[in-house]
Amino acid sequence: MSKFDYDLITIGAGSGGVRASRMASQTGARVAVVEESRVGGTCVMRGCVPKKLLVYASQFAHGFSDAKGFGWSVGETKLDWPQLIATKNAELDRLEGIYGRILRENNVDHLDGRGVVKDAHTVEVNGKTYTTEKILIATGGWPHLPDIPGIEHAITSNEALDLEEFPERIVIVGGGYIAVEFAGLFNSMGADVTIIIRAGNILRGFDEDIRDTLAQEMEKAGITINRECVVRSIEKEGDGYSVRMHGTETISCDQVFYATGRAPNTKGLGLEEAGVELTPKGAVVVDEYFQTAVPSIFALGDVIDRIQLTPVAINEGMAFVDTQFKNTPRPMDYDNIPAAVFSQPPVGTVGLMEAEARAIAKEKGGDVDIYMSRFRPMKHTLSGRDSHAMMKLIVDRESQIVVGCHMVGDDAPEIVQGFGVALKCGATKQQFDATVGIHPTAAEEFVTMRDKLPDHDEDV
Ligand code: NDP
């Protein structure tokens, strides 16, 4: 009989914590998960899921206007925002119930409250202490806002998903995933949207052609992008706000939404006191097996600040359980992780962007071949909507292995998920070419691109 109350206590019932807890329990381990908020975490309660439901809601607006080109007469349409928020919340309640049931059915105890690490084998929840052989920190992250005058007036993605009133004019600060996704959905629902970015372009870290194409499409759809612009202060102005930028320019709006990154949730968890090392940003430092400086304490998901994506946290959780509970140690494989941005149009991407692929190839004395296609999707020949798609393949010239696959356009996330398998298998351009397309689709472009871009275009 173990001298501890549990074999594993997980702090945080989000995507990574729930998966690791239930997989560990399935091996016969005695597991508890501590959660102070709602079971499901950021993705289910405050992120991916509610955001995607609002994206779906917003896309009806495109459907109504596209329908006219196909012979439909569409009557008056109107969005009932409070009703949408209510139905979205009912769905989140349902999902929370499912997550709770998953824990119960897998014999994982749910300890309701805030978990604090007291020492290498003890966790305190609401004044009660529990001993455990291993502790897993899966507390995720929280929006990070810069410290400027009036920042208390700003909302984040947490509040944007639950606004009582639809914001007719919204300023979004930041140009990452969250900023472009919410800009797209609010714009499609009819809001006047301004994005403010300090850099020259949106979506830092993505392929340059993706960034340029998406920015153009967003601007064509009516979103204003203020580049190389820094917000100095936010002031209350009547029922709304005035956003003052460097210089004298101000923008009036109903809501100011900050999407300036997320910081790891490690404050007040007792980690440093227990000997766990944190980065200057507050992320838990772990080795390739998610072990911290304290051998019985582990961490994974957004709190380790590697790749802040739900499926990554889930896979990290499974690698952790294989290593600690199944006696089959393995690190997480971070190569070729597909990702999507649910902007409008959306982005799907897997593998290297052109600049990094070229730098890697050049180090070995080689180079890359670039294949690119820009086109107007068939649907918009009749809908009349001025929207274009872009698809791009990056191929290592010497091995002919496809090292990057990127798309901006309708269904890009659904399309690129499948090509993620091809990249994971190390498929070559010849194998892409030997694959018969499905006609008529946009996806077939990925297997029919034959002409590489001339070399001189690539060094731009
Ligand atoms: P990101 O890191 O993606 O983007 C942050 C943005 O904020 C960047 O444009 C950055 O500018 C800007 N920024 C940072 N600090 C400041 C500042 N002080 N003043 C002005 N601008 C600033 O963060 P998000 O908040 O958008 O999203 C967090 C993470 O959540 C993402 O990285 C992603 O991993 C995950 N996520 C994934 C989604 C998906 O899979 N579809 C959807 C939503 C979130 P600069 O480029 O100049 O640094």
pLDDT digits (tens, 9 = 90+) for 77-127: 999 999 999 999 999 999 999 999 999 999 999 999 999 999 999 999 999
Q: How far is CA 103 from the centre of its chain?
A: 24
Ligand 1 centroid–CA 173 distance in Å is 10
- Nearest ligand 1 atom to the CA of 342 is 41
Retrieve residue 162's tokens: 């639950």
Those residues whose C-beta lies under 8 Å from the C-beta of residue 23, and which sit 6 or more positions away, are 317, 318, 321, 325
**354 CA to centre of ligand 1 in angstroms:** 21
What number does the ligand 1 atom closest to the CA of 48 have? Answer: 42
Q: State mean pLDDT over 39-45.
A: 96
Distance 180 CA to ligand 1 centre (A): 9
- CB-CB neighbours of 430 under 10 Å: 11
Q: Whose CA is nearest to atom 4 of ligand 1?
A: 176
- Cα angle 107, 304, 112 (rounded to 5 degrees) comes to 35
Q: Do residues 226 and 183 touch, judged by C-beta distance below 8 A? A: no
Measure 274 CA to ligand 1 centroid, in angstroms. Answer: 31
> What's the gap in Å between 178 CA and the centre of ligand 1?
6
**What are the pLDDT digits (tens) for 402-446?**
999 999 999 999 999 999 999 999 999 999 999 999 999 999 999
Ligand 1, atom 47, residue with closest C-alpha = 199
Q: CA-CA distance, 134 to 112, in Å (whole number)?
A: 19
Quickly list DSSP for 275-301: T--B-TTSPBP--TTSB-SSTTEEE-G
Fold of 339-456: Enolase-like; domain 1 (3.30.390)
The DSSP bridge pattern shows strands 192-196 and 169-173 to be parallel
Q: How far apart are CA 374 and CA 442, in angstroms?
A: 11
Taking CA atoms only, the protein residue closest to ligand 1 atom 32 is 308
H or E element: which one contains 171? strand 169-173
Residue type, 395: V
pLDDT-derived band at 456, boundaries 50, 70, 90 = low
Q: What atom of ligand 1 comes closest to residue 340's alpha carbon?
A: 41
Q: Is residue 4 a contact partner of residue 132, using CB atoms and an 8 Å limit?
A: yes
| Residue 436 to residue 429: CA distance in whole angstroms | 13
At residue 36, the 3 state secondary structure works out as: coil
Residues 6+ apart with CB under 8 A from 299: 136, 137, 138, 276, 284, 286, 290, 292
Task: Catalogue the active-site residues.
Answer: 439
Contact indicator for 341, 308 with CB cutoff of 8 Å: no
For 373-408, what is each residue's pLDDT tens digit?
A: 999 999 999 999 999 999 999 999 999 999 999 999
Backbone dihedral region of 107: left (phi > 0), alpha (psi from -120 to 50 degrees) or beta? left
What does the block give as tokens for 431? 């194998």
Taking the whole predicted model, whether its pTM rises above 0.95 is answered as: yes
- The tokens for 124 are 């305190």
Q: What CATH class has 151-260? A: alpha beta
Q: Do 6-142+263-325 and 339-456 show the same overall fold?
A: no
Mutate to test the pocket of ligand 1, among 234, 260, 302, 347 (most ligand atoms within 8 A of CB): 260
pLDDT at 459 over 60: no
C-alpha 443 chain-centroid distance? 23
Which is the closest atom of ligand 1 to the Cα of 199?
47
Q: Where are the domains of the chain?
A: 6-142+263-325, 151-260, 339-456
Nearest 10 degrees: Cα torsion 147, 152, 156, 161: 180
Looking at the CA of residue 177, tell me the nearest atom of ligand 1.
26
**How many whole angstroms from 41 Cα to the centroid of ligand 1?**
19
CA distances in angstroms from 396 to 223, 335, 402, 403, listed in the order given:
36, 16, 6, 6
Ligand 1 pocket mutation pick from 42, 177, 341, 343 by most atoms within 8 angstroms of CB: 177
Residue nearest to atom 15 of ligand 1 (CA): 260
pLDDT in tens, 297-331: 999 999 999 999 999 999 999 999 999 999 999 99
Region 6-142+263-325: CATH code: 3.50.50.60
Q: What is the dihedral of CA 335, 336, 337, 339, to 10 degrees?
A: 150
Name the CA dihedral angle for 303, 305, 309, 311, rounded to a multiple of 10 degrees: -70
Ligand 1 geometric centre to CA of 206 (Å): 12
Residue of minimum CA distance from atom 25 in ligand 1: 261
Q: What residues line ligand 1, using a CB cutoff of 6 Å?
A: 146, 173-179, 181, 197-199, 204, 259-262, 308-309, 339-342
346: preceding bond cis by omega (within 30 degrees) = no
Retrieve residue 414's tokens: 């659904």
pLDDT recorded at residue 246: 82
pLDDT at position 460 over 50: no
Mutation to probe ligand 1, out of 46, 148, 198 (largest number of atoms < 8 A from CB): 198
Atom of ligand 1 nearest to the CA of 339: 40
Q: How does pLDDT run across 233-259, given as a tens digit for each residue? A: 999 999 999 999 987 799 999 999 999
% of the chain beyond a pLDDT of 90: 98
